[in-house]
């Protein structure tokens, strides 16, 4: 199955490449780096990635939408949001990391669904679409075919959870071991939630 990583200017590097590191270890997925029109895309940290046009790949696979400062402009880009919504509807599953959930929320596909995002940006994310049932304390949330995760590194935990859901716990454990990563297996345990330090 194709796993399409949707990139845009000023995406957060680890949002995209944390899950890529995990899912790239599975023989089940062919990874594609895509953008709306193809070409070079630069992350917030300066990584330059050559992408294919979203229209050139199978959109019935899995779609990953990272977050980052670039989302602040894209929530006002009607063409981007329309095409994102169409791709997410056709995708077998759609995963978001950090404020990538704000982009997906703006399409209306998360209306009435449970979702989460980076807790430091939660007020802004909620303002983008208050019709979503935003979960304030979760490492990642699953609602139907939509997986949303908290900030940055939480995408790695979500990707491992996604592997476990699809191919079993052993496959996820093997991927985490191969990456030498300590997996937070409890998606409801978010040590970075705003109230994490409160009794």
Whether residue 146 lies inside any domain: the answer is: yes
Whether residue 52 lies inside any domain: the answer is: yes
Whether residue 188 lies inside any domain: the answer is: no
Question: Cα separations (Å) of 199 from 111, 120, 122, 196?
Answer: 32, 20, 21, 8
Whether residue 106 lies inside any domain: the answer is: yes
What's the CA gap between 130 and 182, in Å, rounded?
A: 33
Which pLDDT score is estimated for 55? 86
Q: Give how many domains the chain has, as a whole number.
A: 1
Which pLDDT score is estimated for 83? 95
Which pLDDT score is estimated for 191? 87
Question: In which domain, by residue range, is 24 found?
Answer: 2-178
CA torsion angle 164 170 176 180 (round to 10): 170
Whether residue 130 lies inside any domain: the answer is: yes
Q: What is the pTM of this model?
A: 0.94
Q: Helix, strand or coil for residue 175?
A: helix
Whether residue 184 lies inside any domain: the answer is: no
Of 52, 55, 44, the C-alpha closest to 9 is: 44
Q: CATH number for the domain including 18?
A: 3.40.50.880
Whether residue 199 lies inside any domain: the answer is: no
What's the CA gap between 111 and 122, in Å, rounded?
A: 16
Where would I find the H helices in the chain? 13-23, 71-74, 78-90, 100-106, 122-128, 154-167, 169-178
pLDDT tens string, the chain, 199 residues long: the values are 899 999 999 999 999 999 999 999 888 899 999 999 999 999 999 999 999 998 888 778 999 999 999 999 999 999 999 999 999 999 999 999 999 999 999 999 999 999 999 999 999 999 999 999 999 999 999 999 999 999 999 999 999 999 999 999 999 999 999 999 999 999 998 988 865 433 2
Which pLDDT score is estimated for 65? 98
Which pLDDT score is estimated for 199? 29
Could you tell me which residues come within 8 angstroms of residue 75 by beta carbon, excluding any fewer than 6 positions away? 81, 102, 103, 106, 128
Whether residue 197 lies inside any domain: the answer is: no
């Amino acid at each position: 199955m194709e796993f399409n990583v949707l990139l845009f200017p000023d995406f957060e590097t680890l949002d995209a490449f944390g899950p890529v590191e995990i899912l790239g270890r599975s023989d089940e997925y062919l990874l594609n780096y895509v953008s709306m029109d193809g070409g070079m895309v630069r992350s917030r940290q300066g990584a330059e990635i050559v992408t294919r046009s979203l229209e050139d790949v199978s959109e019935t696979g899995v779609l990953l939408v990272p977050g980052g400062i670039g989302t602040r402009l894209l929530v006002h880009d009607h063409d981007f949001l329309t095409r994102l919504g169409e791709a997410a509807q056709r995708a077998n599953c759609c995963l978001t990391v950090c404020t990538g959930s704000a982009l997906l929320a703006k399409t209306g596909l998360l209306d009435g669904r449970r979702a989460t995002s980076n807790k430091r940006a939660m007020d802004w994310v909620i303002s983008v679409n208050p019709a979503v049932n935003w979960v304030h304390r979760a490492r990642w949330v699953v609602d139907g075919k939509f997986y949303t995760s908290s900030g940055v590194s939480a995408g790695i935990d979500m990707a491992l959870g996604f592997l476990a859901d699809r191919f079993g716990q052993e496959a996820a454990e093997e991927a985490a071991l191969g990456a030498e990563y300590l997996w937070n297996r409890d998606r409801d345990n978010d040590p970075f939630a705003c109230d994490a330090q409160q009794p």
